[in-house]
Amino acid sequence: MALDKTYKLVPGTTIFDSEQSAKGYHLNQFCMSLMTAENRASYLADERAYLDAWPLREEQKQALLDRDLNAAMREGGNIYFLAKWGATLGLSFQQMAGSMTGMAEQEYRDMMVGGGRPVEGNRIDRAVLEAARAAASHDPAAPAEHAVITGAVFTSHVPAIGAALDHGRTAEPYWQPVFEGYEYSRAWERENTPDVIFLVYNDHASAFDQSVIPTFVLGTGASYPVADEGYGPRPVPGIEGDPDLAAHIAHSLIRDDFDLTLVNEMAVDHGLTVPLSLMFGDDVEKWPCKVIPFHVNVVQYPVPSGARCFRLGQALRKAVESYDRPVRVQVWGTGGMSHQLQGPRAGLINREWDNAFLDRLVEDPAGLAGIPHLEYVEEAGSEGIELVMWLIARGAMSDVDGSGEVEVKHRFYHVPASNTAVGHLILENHPRVGEPAVKE
């Protein structure tokens, strides 16, 4: 059973339950809207009208109208958010807590003054506790029916490629060799379209600025709009996410000690949309599969090491293969190859180093993961550090732990494309039947 399905400790407690957290997203955001005096006044003037302006389920609205905190919790509400709703109604926290326990405010206050509710007689049900402990053991064995990683795609995400696509310039002599290099890839994707792409990319100061600099961002939302990077949003479809699989991955990776920032709302820029256009073409009304965005900070130092990214990829495969639904997943690593966009070395390209990187990515990924930051900067330019993101996708392949093999389906390299060397690789993942999902 998937971790996020078993890790429910007590009814009404959602802090350990990612499924409930996703369920209550809009409810909790409604509560946050009440943090301004203007919105509080609008809500109190006509509660029903204010609630109807939000994409809430009727059960969520009714719980709030009935002042039923327990029902609101069952509908995904989190007490720290709901407290703001209670404050808007003029309720003290003791009144809210008392209402959830069936006690009057004074009765609840007297209980707390007397030392609080004792743990004896209020312990978690034994069966529920054992199920939670079993989930906490994080058994790496895959369920009988589970998600699989079918392959990895590695590609540059040059913004000018998106512009060439959007303005019909793909047949021009300068651009034609680039797009010819992806003709096989588009045919391969048509025959091997996954259910979900876990797409590793870096935001380019579109969704994140210097006020917040997260190292790893997992997109857990249902959809993501295309960012305006200064020239208007690219004329491509928005992204449909997979909140359930993303929540499962979040549980698994965080419990494997990878600190993630979970984001339900963000715009996605060329780092994500250009790879999709290259692999699926520029004439699509809707992307043919769901996409889970995974942003890696390679813009503001300090940035994660290649070794850290490689280990994250290994943990990602364990997370995917413990998901109890028969979902086909591809992992894409994007960015690079060699390029420098700043300073006296702007325009730097290193063909020899790039191709050696591609060789080692196939043949010696563990050794490649040990390359220090300074080598990327020295040999591949200051922005060549984006290549550490490819190691997440490579670490997710089954040959890394000996439980399967990979097959090189396509390899392509070209310079220049605007300011960047373009590299591209497709690996099919072939786990051996009967092998454990992850070897300890």
β-strand pairing of 223-224 with 148-155: unpaired
Contact 218, 292 (CB under 8 A): yes
Active-site position among 248, 270, 295, 414: 270
The values of phi and psi at residue 321, to 5°, are -75, -5
Closest CA to 14 of 94, 66, 55, 72: 72
In degrees, rounded to 5, the angle at the alpha carbon of residue 142 between the alpha carbons of residues 138 and 145 is 135
Please confirm, yes or no, whether 138 is among the known catalytic residues: no
3-state secondary structure of 214: coil
Question: Encoding tokens for residue 348?
Answer: 């730097």
CA dihedral 113, 117, 119, 123 (to 10 degrees): -160
Instruction: Give all strands of the β-sheet with 196-201 in edge-to-edge order.
Output: 261-263, 216-219, 290-296, 196-201, 328-334, 148-155, 420-431, 404-417
C-alpha span between 186 and 181 (Å, rounded) = 10
C-alpha span between 236 and 222 (Å, rounded) = 17
β-strand pairing of 196-201 with 328-334: parallel
Contact 111, 101 (CB under 8 A): no
Residue partners of 191: CB distance under 8 A and separation at least 6: none
Active-site position among 295, 339, 414, 424: 339
Indicate the DSSP class of residue 124: P
3-state secondary structure of 316: helix
Indicate the DSSP class of residue 16: T
Contact 149, 406 (CB under 8 A): no
Query: How big, in percent rounded to 5, are the helix, strand and coil portions of the chain?
Result: 45, 15, 40
C-alpha span between 172 and 174 (Å, rounded) = 6
The values of phi and psi at residue 262, to 5°, are -100, 125
Please confirm, yes or no, whether 339 is among the known catalytic residues: yes
Active-site residues, by number, are: 270, 339
